[in-house]
Amino acid sequence: MRTALLILYIYIASAINAQIAADSFGYFQRYHYTIGTNLIVQQDTLFVVSLPAMSTADSTSAYYGLLPQDTLLMGDTVVVANFFTDTLTTPHTVWVKIAHDNNNQGWLLEEQVNQTLHPINIISYAISVFSSIHTLVFVIIIAVFAAALFILRRRAVRRAARSIDALYSILPVVITAMLATLYESIQMFAPEVWEHYYFNPALNPIGEHILIAMFIVGVWLWLCAFAACVYESRRRLPVLPAVLHAAMVGISCILCYAVFMFTVRIYVGYALLLLFLVFFVTNLLRKSNNTYRCGHCNAVLHRKGKCPVCSAINE
């Protein structure tokens, strides 16, 4: 008898665990997070109700009563504890239970989760920071002032630019334009793909959605291209001109990102990207014929003769 009861208990427990696992996987596929996911509060004050507010079945409109509330503050870490679907509303209302500790926990609407809570990982934090319009405006202002400063040192910048192969200078900017175009395209046409990546980020493109995989590969290519630019600048130039050249390439990437981010939203960015790629290929082919370098300043020359940077005569 005891053996039979034990087997029955194991069977019921296994069935319950299997159902919980299935529900958890379903929540993960639908909302991009599931029970046990850790999140952090990103607004000054977040109110959660002690119980999900039920709608009345005999009413045509949902009625939500006033329930006791708990308060969570910015920076509080919480864990997703449960889900509840109110099937009496049209469409169905989804409630998510979050817990900070035993004394601070409660329910909030699923829409509020995406607006007030963010994942706890460095990649998601970086995405949130760089996606902020305030951060973007701040970076653009810094880039404009930095560009004005370097233009004042235009002789050093021009010398640096002519001493480095065009591939190292332009390739990071081209990759930035492609990344900005891809990012905004995902935001416009497949926002759920980006939302899933935001809650479940990775640096490995294998196993990710094709659009996300392309974006991750592009980020790695940009890092490699910019590192090559810095290395080539330092190899061919003294320290100050090398720093100026690398900084100008970085500023160009920032401004390029801002331009394409705004123009893709009005579909002009796609034509602009095509023109940019044509310019890049044309410029690369034109400068690939530069087989001479100045013996004095190491600048790239189209032909022997007077150097356009330092005026030295090369025979």
Q: What is the pLDDT of residue 1?
A: 58
Closest CA to 247 of 143, 174, 175: 143
The residue assigned the tokens 């081209």 is 174
Give the pTM: 0.76
Beta bridge partners of 169: none
Q: Report angle CA 203, 205, 209 to the nearest 5 degrees.
A: 120
Identify whether the C-beta of residue 77 lies closer than 8 Å to the C-beta of residue 120: yes
DSSP state of 72: E
How many residues are given for the chain? 315
Where residue 63 falls (left for φ over 0; alpha for ψ -120 to 50; beta otherwise) is beta
The residue assigned the tokens 């009496």 is 88
CA dist., res. 10 & res. 8, Å (int): 5
Q: Tell me the chain's radius of gyration from C-alpha atoms.
A: 28
The residue assigned the tokens 């990982």 is 121
DSSP state of 295: T
Q: What type of residue sits at position 5?
A: L
Q: Which two tokens stand for residue 10?
A: 């194991």
Beta bridge partners of 293: 300
Q: Per-residue pLDDT for the chain (315 aa), expressed as one digit of tens each?
A: 556 554 554 545 444 444 444 444 445 556 678 788 889 998 888 888 887 765 544 443 344 444 567 888 888 999 988 888 877 777 778 888 888 888 888 888 888 888 888 898 889 888 887 777 766 777 777 777 777 666 656 665 666 566 667 788 889 999 999 999 999 999 999 998 998 899 888 999 998 999 999 999 999 999 999 999 999 888 877 787 788 788 888 888 988 998 898 899 999 999 999 999 998 888 777 766 656 677 667 666 666 767 766 767 777
CA dist., res. 173 & res. 229, Å (int): 11
